[in-house]
Amino acid sequence: MSGIPALMLMGGLCAGLVMVDLFSRPIPESSIPRSRRGVLFLAYLIIIGGLIGALTLFSRELTAAQEVPPFITILIPVCGYLLISGLALLAGTLLSHPLRWTLGGHILISLIAAFTAALALIGSSSDLMIPILIAFGSAIIGGFAARWEYVSFAFKDRERTGSAPEPFTDTGPNATIIPSRTSPTTPSTFPTELLEKYANPELIGVGGIARVFRAENTISGESVALKIPVQFNETAGKCFMKEIKAWEDLNHENIVSIHEVNILPVPYVEMEYIAQSLADLKKPLTPEGAARTIRGIAEGLAYAHSQGIIHRDIKPQNILITETGVPKITDWGMSKVMGAYMPHTITGFSLSYAAPEQIAPDTFGDTDQRTDIYQLGVVFYELLTRRIISEESPLPSDSVPGTYPLDGIVKRCLEKDKEKRIQVADDLIAAIDQYISGEIETGRYEVFEE
């Protein structure tokens, strides 16, 4: 039968395209959600069944026929191509690997098959009508399914390799992540490998070594925050893993909790999502409100210090506030283990909140837990007065009535000499508790003494 060589030729052509997909370059992971892949799997299964049925009926009806209609001789090998191509695409859907060249070939041959089947209906016998209609329907369904998958894959591939400008980022090696409420959803910067597990990603923060996304965990259904390195190289990896190593074992009410850490398919950290930070709150806070907020932060720091970890970058942007007003410390990228040597540097922290020993370590010594106390004092001053402290700053009570009882606590946090500063977070908590209970003894101080 003359159709056999044509059928073999079409099958070889299809197999060639599959080989090109398999060996020309690494196969990208599919970014199509699981529910849509289920629809594609069902569509390919239908066209495979339909084409097998059509070819079987053609074989039965044409065995005894003395002459084969001209368009049927074209339609049969075309259907053979679509059958082999459909099997390859079905396997690709199961393995989550789109076959780009095979998809393009399937779309083109589906159009040819549909057109040929329409022409074959004209003048064909009634016995051939059913297999022709089955072939026509299979071609239409297969063409739409393949085009849908091809467009989805091509769109994601363009996002992955496109030249859209990056959001503004701080360039410091340990730059702090600053929440951005106005940043649009930017799936082009979100790894497509994670789209299977996380839906509707939205960029909410950018730093020197990582981006933070809000996304929906498709398994739990809850909104989570995802921290993902900006670059996947050795330097970024070391900085990223250093932060996570210090952070993941800290389990406290006043520290943002980590749900999961993984390095596959890409390095990422899933943590609890909190919508606002201390920087978003309208200031000044009431004296008692500011005191209770600082007390919560001090609780988190006391726990971290007890685990041998100091933060070294306490500032409003790194304190998230839950809907119930609970402060939680985030961004441990500048943290270090107590007693560990680190080269002196003034990069990686915010100068407005920096302790003297961070700016002039040769004069004031190395950073330790009292560095966090100083930075917390700067935040305390800002919550009370709405201003960032400086050398010329007055006492909180000089600009905000009712803060007089807290002058002494703020001053003791802000001593340049670490030995005169509040020594441990528990002492700060005790002083605030004394204020809240109304038992604190007040006095007048200068913020900085020469």
Q: Domain boundaries in the chain? A: 1-20+40-93, 192-272, 276-437
Question: In terms of CATH architecture, what is 276-437?
Answer: Orthogonal Bundle (1.10)
pLDDT at 125: 79
Of 202-206, 366-370, 375-379, 406-410, the poorest mean pLDDT is in 202-206
- CA separation for the pair 223, 49 (Å, rounded): 41
Residue 270 has pLDDT above 60, yes or no: yes
Residue 408 has pLDDT above 50, yes or no: yes
Mean pLDDT value of segment 3-31:
56
- CA separation for the pair 324, 199 (Å, rounded): 26
Phi, psi angles (nearest 5°) of residue 258: -100, 130
pLDDT at 176: 47
Residues forming beta bridges with residue 202, ordered by sequence position: 214
- Grade residue 4 by pLDDT with cuts at 50, 70 and 90: low
The residue with greater pLDDT, 34 or 432, is 432
Q: What percent of the chain has pLDDT over 90?
A: 40
Output DSSP code: residue 181: T
Helix (H) or strand (E) holding 170, with range, is: none
Residue 156 has pLDDT above 60, yes or no: no
Residue 8 has pLDDT above 70, yes or no: no
Do the strands 327-329 and 258-262 form a parallel or antiparallel pair, or are they unpaired? unpaired
Q: Where are the beta strands (DSSP E) in 136-243?
A: 178-179, 198-206, 210-217, 223-229
Nearest to 325 by CA among 359, 296, 353, 358: 296
Nearest to 369 by CA among 303, 431, 279, 296: 303
pLDDT at 98: 67
Mean pLDDT value of segment 183-194:
70
- Grade residue 60 by pLDDT with cuts at 50, 70 and 90: confident
What class is the 192-272 domain?
A: alpha beta
- CA separation for the pair 418, 421 (Å, rounded): 5
Q: Where are the alpha helices (DSSP H) in 263-320?
A: 287-306
Phi, psi angles (nearest 5°) of residue 340: -80, 140
Residue 378 has pLDDT above 70, yes or no: yes
Which pair of tokens denotes residue 285?
A: 């806070």
- Grade residue 66 by pLDDT with cuts at 50, 70 and 90: low
Inter-residue contact 424 to 305 (CB < 8 Å): yes
pLDDT at 148: 80
Helix (H) or strand (E) holding 18, with range, is: helix 3-23
- CA separation for the pair 343, 354 (Å, rounded): 16
- CA separation for the pair 234, 237 (Å, rounded): 5
Inter-residue contact 411 to 420 (CB < 8 Å): no
Cis peptide before 284 (omega within 30 of 0): yes
- Grade residue 439 by pLDDT with cuts at 50, 70 and 90: low
Helix (H) or strand (E) holding 97, with range, is: none
pLDDT at 239: 76
Helix (H) or strand (E) holding 260, with range, is: strand 258-262
pLDDT at 35: 66
Mean pLDDT of the chain: 80
The set of residues, in sequence order, having a beta carbon less than 8 Å from that of 47 and lying 6+ positions away, is 82, 86, 138, 139, 141, 142, 145
Which pair of tokens denotes residue 307?
A: 């685990």
Inter-residue contact 83 to 126 (CB < 8 Å): no
The residue with greater pLDDT, 280 or 104, is 280
- Grade residue 299 by pLDDT with cuts at 50, 70 and 90: very high
pLDDT at 177: 47
pLDDT at 32: 59
Nearest to 274 by CA among 219, 196, 212: 212
Report the first-to-last Cα separation within the chain, whole angstroms: 104
The residue with greater pLDDT, 67 or 424, is 424
Inter-residue contact 69 to 120 (CB < 8 Å): yes
Mean pLDDT value of segment 422-429:
97
pLDDT at 432: 96
Mean pLDDT value of segment 131-144:
89
- CA separation for the pair 300, 277 (Å, rounded): 16
Mean pLDDT value of segment 121-150:
85
Output DSSP code: residue 125: -
- CA separation for the pair 313, 334 (Å, rounded): 6
Which pair of tokens denotes residue 89?
A: 């695409």
Residue 409 has pLDDT above 90, yes or no: yes
Which pair of tokens denotes residue 407?
A: 């002058």
Residue 345 has pLDDT above 70, yes or no: no
- Grade residue 55 by pLDDT with cuts at 50, 70 and 90: confident
Mean pLDDT value of segment 3-32:
56
pLDDT at 33: 63
- CA separation for the pair 48, 85 (Å, rounded): 9
Mean pLDDT value of segment 172-189:
48
- CA separation for the pair 235, 191 (Å, rounded): 19
